[in-house]
Amino acid sequence: MNSLVSFPTKMIPWIACAAAMASGCADPEGAFNDFKDRYQATQGQVEAGAPDGPQGDGAACVLPEPGDVDDKYLFALSANVLPKKPIVCVGTLTITQGASGPEISFSLQPVLSTDRRTPTGTPLVAGPVPINADGSFVADFGGIKVNGNANPISGSDLETTSTVLTGGPGALCKPADFICGAVTGQVIVPATINLGEGVGSKFTLQRITDPNQYPPPMIDCAGTTVK
């Protein structure tokens, strides 16, 4: 797994490419602290910037049940080319009981990059996928398309051939107020970009408790926020 370090030399072409193309949770910190506490219970510390969430043994993980994630969530996809310009969605999560345990489905509605509230384009969907006993999961969204007005990196329409969200141990444990992990996949429009290259791409999901006041997006498991 990758960690947050300085950009390696092989990332420079992707950064240059992005530059060339460029023309309500009331207590988001509390949600992140809840996530941190779950990790501390299993391993005793938080590895800041871990791209796929905390690495614990899952002993303290209580899996969410149907109804536990009924609030909407603010989703942020922080691409490796320009991490501080996330693509933001308002997400709906659904937990169902599968044959082997709880499963989760995702419906993530992209919003305008200018206000991070107004829906644009079609939702990005995945699932249901199993939630493992330690709270980890892998959600394969397949190829996705995002309208250019939701893409703050270049303002161009975005298309991938694959997009996978991976939450590590502890990612989906109660109260599930803050969920994070790694993003892998291949962008083909407006440029060819490997989302897992270099420092890797990240995602977060923050529970929205106040529909009139969305939280500032967090862009990694360390709880880094952007305006």
Give me the CATH number covering residue 27. Answer: 2.40.128
Please state the domain count of the chain.
Answer: 1
Within a 13 Å sphere around the CA of 118, how many CA atoms are in the beta-carbon half? Answer: 7
pLDDT of 212-222, one tens digit each? 999 999 999 99
Domain assignment present for residue 31? The answer is: yes
Domain assignment present for residue 109? The answer is: yes
Domain assignment present for residue 84? The answer is: yes
pLDDT value, residue 59? 54
Query: Reduced to 3 DSSP states, what percent helix, strand and coil does the chain have, rounded to the nearest 5?
Result: 15, 35, 55
Residue 92: which domain range?
A: 9-207
Domain assignment present for residue 129? The answer is: yes
The answer, yes or no, to whether the previous bond of 175 is cis (omega within 30 of 0) is yes
Q: Which residues contact 203 (CB under 8 A, 6 or more apart)?
A: 75, 76, 77, 78, 165, 180, 181, 182, 183
**Placement of tokens 């703050």 in the chain:** 152
Average pLDDT value for residue range 151-176: 96
Q: Where are the beta strands (DSSP E) in 114-192?
A: 124-130, 137-140, 145-146, 158-167, 178-189
Domain assignment present for residue 101? The answer is: yes
pLDDT of 15-27, one tens digit each? 334 433 443 444 5
Q: Which residues contact 66 (CB under 8 A, 6 or more apart)?
A: 94, 95, 96, 97, 102
pLDDT value, residue 100? 87
What one-character-per-residue DSSP string does 33-49 give?
HHHHHHHHHHTSS--TT
Give this prediction's pTM.
0.76
**Placement of tokens 């997006």 in the chain:** 217
- Cβ atoms of 31 and 207 within 8 Å: the answer is yes
Query: In the predicted model, is pLDDT for residue 92 greater than 70?
Result: yes
When mean pLDDT is compared across 50-54, 83-87, 142-146, 217-221, the lowest value belongs to 50-54
pLDDT value, residue 12? 38
Domain assignment present for residue 223? The answer is: no
